[in-house]
Amino acid sequence: MAATSSGSGEPQEREAALARAGEQGLLFGDEVTEHPDDIGYRGETARSVAGISYRQLDYWARTGLVEPSVRPAHGSGSQRLYSFRDICVLKVVNRLLEAGVSLQQIRKAVDHLRERGAGDLSQTTLMSDGASIYECSSPGEVVDLLAGGQGVFGIALGRVWQDVDSELAHLPAERAGEPRARLDVHDELARHRARRTG
């Protein structure tokens, strides 16, 4: 991930950049719901929500770009289970590819994102000029990047998180180690939050 500039830029450039940032729907400070690590979604669900083909999903898993963290495949006929976070990363990877970012840069970004917690992700916007990926954790950093002419598009990770949360709300999920059964994910999340705060 490339470092962002901390220069303030000219006042008019900053105002124009701030307007562009607002138009792109960049989000900072949104609340995101943490999801339990042992609840997963089958490949078809992950593929559909991320907007990718099954071939991409399979290739990215085999090459280690985005592997299913709840349950990896163990030979022919076994079912991978992707965590909520895995699906968010799949969606981000797809958006970066669509913007023309190289797979090498995307791999660096994915490695970086794996080290972050959910709260950190909700505060992060990825910006790219098509060649490099920049991490911005405040509106000021986005404005500085846009004023410097570097940023072309942004992906607000808090928004991706919310979109995936909404899309998965009524889709079947499974708990790791249990036979396929539909879980009420919202009830599971409520129990998870109660354990963390209790």
pLDDT digits (tens, 9 = 90+) for 124-142: 888 877 777 878 877 778 7
**Helix, strand counts (H, E) of the chain:** 9, 6
CA-closest candidate to residue 2, choices 125, 117, 134: 134
Mean pLDDT for the stretch of residues 154-161: 84
Report DSSP state, residue 91.
H
Q: How many of the other CB atoms lie within 10 Å of CB of 25?
A: 10
Q: What is the pLDDT of residue 63?
A: 92
**DSSP assignment letter at 71:** B
pLDDT band at 75 (very low <50, low <70, confident <90, very high): low
CA-to-CA dists, residue 43 to 69, 70, 75, 86, 92, angstroms: 12, 11, 15, 11, 17
pLDDT attached to residue 192: 47
Q: Of 141-150, 158-167, 174-183, which one has max mean pLDDT?
A: 158-167
Quickly state the pLDDT bin for 178 (edges 50, 70, 90): low
Calculate mean pLDDT across residues 31-47: 84
Residue 130 φ/ψ region, left for φ over 0, alpha for ψ in the -120 to 50 degree band, beta for the rest: left
Of 12, 20, 7, 14, residue with least CA distance to 127: 20
pLDDT of residue 143: 75
What is the band of 198 on the pLDDT scale with cuts at 50, 70, 90?
Answer: low
Identify the pLDDT of residue 51: 96
- Average pLDDT along the chain: 74
Does residue 183 surpass a pLDDT of 80? no
pLDDT at 54 over 90: yes
Percent of the chain whose pLDDT exceeds 70: 65
The helix-helix angle for 43-50 and 84-98 (nearest 10°) equals: 40
Q: What is the pLDDT of residue 79?
A: 85
CA 96 to chain centre: 11
Nearest Cα residue to 40 out of 67, 20, 62: 67
181 burial via Cβ count (<10 Å: 0-12, 13-18, 19+):
exposed
Q: What is the pLDDT of residue 141?
A: 80
**pLDDT at position 122:** 67
Domains of the chain: 11-197 (1.10.1660.10)
Whether residue 149 is predicted with pLDDT greater than 50 in this model: the reply is: yes
Angstrom distance (rounded) from CA 43 to CA 82:
7
Residue for token digits 């992700």? Answer: 121
Burial 74-111 (b: 16+ CB within 10 A, else e): eeeeeebbbbbbbbbbbbbbbbbeeeebeeebbeebbe
